[in-house]
Amino acid sequence: MSALVLALAVAACGSTAPTAAGPDAVGPNAAGPNAAGPDAAGSSTAGPSTSASAGIGAAATAAPSASTGAGPGQGSCDGFPADNIWRADVSRLPADPASARYIASIGTASGVHADFGSGTWDGGPIGIPVTTVPAGQKSSTVRFAYAGESDKGPYPIPAGAAIEGGPQADGDRHVVLHDPVACKVYELFAAEHRSDGWHAGSGAVFDLRSDRLRPAGWTSADAAGLSIFAGLVRYSEVASGHIDHAIRVTVPRSRTSYVWPARHAAGQSADAALPPMGLRLRLKAGVDVSKLPKQARIVAEAMKKYGLIVADNGSPWYISGTPDSHWDNDALHALGGLTGSDFEAVNVSTLMVSANSAAAR
């Protein structure tokens, strides 16, 4: 096992927000026989790391804004194209034959937890913030611990760019930058600004006008090698009445292989019962969500139509979103009434146009 995967197993976990009960789940540690699911796309042994090597980077000077604006797909450059797999309706696709064992592995009795909300927890905002890049922002060099699977950049990082968990956080420390002018998102894992510039474990740049995937076997700022931005729930989406994309979710343990559209694995076991990175999950059609508070109901409806994509190791059924003062934490907490038994895995292989593209039929 590489140092990269080991670092991911230690660092990746769902945050303990005020609406959650119980401790965070630990990283992957299962063992078992090797088996790939029906839509398996590959395997890998590398993943993001929290360590960063010494290097140089120019500190930016423009002031950023923490974006809570239009969600993916709702604006001209706020999400991937309409044909992207993140935006595919999976409500009518067949369940994956391995669904029952995947759900059991993730946790049939564990409840959904919205790992985002209003206010702070442990000194930082609740969720993964998105910083909007201001026009004319100068770019910075970032020195990566794992440069071999990182996009060189440069990265337009404003001074004061929001870091997941806050400036003093010791978790994943994601930085997500949305540049609506360039129509790109820039994402960093284990980001840190030091006296000599920006450092990170890994980083990725995504063109929001393209369905192109990262090279096979490459990580991103997320374990699955996918965009974090694409799977975040934003308050503006819920305020508009609908979410039109799949949602990022974490699982306690994952397999040493991945399925399309993921490009990277971060597991320590080939156990066929473990979910691979990239697995699509869906809230079952028959689950009654009508009595949920409005904010929770809109999220649940999206989980029925667009589903969830396994993107990292962490606490079971932790879904990702951006911090926002408008979130009602009590309403989001109601999602905890939905448990693993209410979900099923979905085989999306019939939607694949090309193994190297996120375009979906």
Residue 301 placed within a domain: yes
pTM: 0.84
Q: Which of 184, 236, 244 is nearest to 68 (CA)?
A: 236
* Residues 321/128, Cβ–Cβ less than 8 Å: yes
Task: Determine the pLDDT at residue 44.
Answer: 40
Q: Which of 355, 285, 354 is nearest to 93 (CA)?
A: 285
Residue 313 placed within a domain: yes
**H/E stretch holding 102:** helix 99-106
Residue 359 placed within a domain: no
Residue 23 placed within a domain: no
Please report which confidence band the pLDDT of residue 76 belongs to, taking 50, 70 and 90 as the band edges. Answer: low
pLDDT digits (tens, 9 = 90+) for 273-323: 999 999 999 999 999 999 999 999 999 999 999 999 999 999 999 999 999
Q: Return the number of other C-beta atoms located less than 10 Å from residue 97's C-beta.
A: 11
Q: Which residue range is the domain that position 214 belongs to?
A: 50-351
Residue 141 placed within a domain: yes
pLDDT digits (tens, 9 = 90+) for 155-188: 999 999 999 999 999 999 999 999 999 999 999 9
DSSP line for 223-249: TTSS-SGGG-B-HHHHHHT---S-EEE
Residue 139 placed within a domain: yes
Cα(243)–Cα(112) distance, rounded to whole angstroms?
17
Residue 28 placed within a domain: no
Residue 234 placed within a domain: yes
In terms of residues, how long is the chain?
361
Cα(259)–Cα(46) distance, rounded to whole angstroms?
15
Tell me how many domains the chain contains: 1
